[in-house]
Amino acid sequence: MRNLAPDITRQRLLIEGFYSIDVERETITDYVETLTNDLGLRTYGEPIIFSPGGAGKEENQGFDAFVPLIDSGISLYIWANQRFFSGIIYTCRAFDEARAIEVTRGFFKMAEVESQSF
């Protein structure tokens, strides 16, 4: 992908995997707090967490969340029935990608994680 704005600092990381813990709204809040504290990312608001509550397809039930960062944001998508996690960290400052992956893997007790920087 061509860098259209080389003068603007951007770092993006997609992390995905199957988790083995129970995930509720509080779990997502705890994860965000753990991740942002560990990476030194600063939030300026509480996580916004949505759950369709039965609307839509059964296999897509779970949570969508957004966390506003002073330096951009984190988006999370949780498929409860499949126990699948997909998250994107998007910042305008550098962060340790390997640490972000390890924190996520450990928090959600994932046996395997896939990730992609872009």
pLDDT in tens, 6-22: 999 999 999 999 999 99
Q: Determine the 3-state secondary structure of 60 from DSSP.
A: helix
Q: Which two tokens stand for residue 35?
A: 């991740």
User: What's the pLDDT score for residue 54?
Assistant: 63
User: What's the pLDDT score for residue 92?
Assistant: 94
Full-model pTM: 0.93
Can you list the domains of the chain with their CATH numbers? 11-117 (3.60.90.10)
User: What's the pLDDT score for residue 56?
Assistant: 67
Q: Determine the 3-state secondary structure of 81 from DSSP.
A: coil
**Residue numbers in the chain where pLDDT is lower than 70:** 54, 56
Count Cβ atoms below 10 Å from residue 99 Cβ, excluding itself: 13
Phi, psi of 80 (to 5 degrees): -65, -45
User: What's the pLDDT score for residue 47?
Assistant: 96
Residue type, 75: S
In sequence order, the β-bridge partners of residue 87 are: 15, 76
Distances (CA, A) of 87 to 6, 67, 116: 24, 11, 11
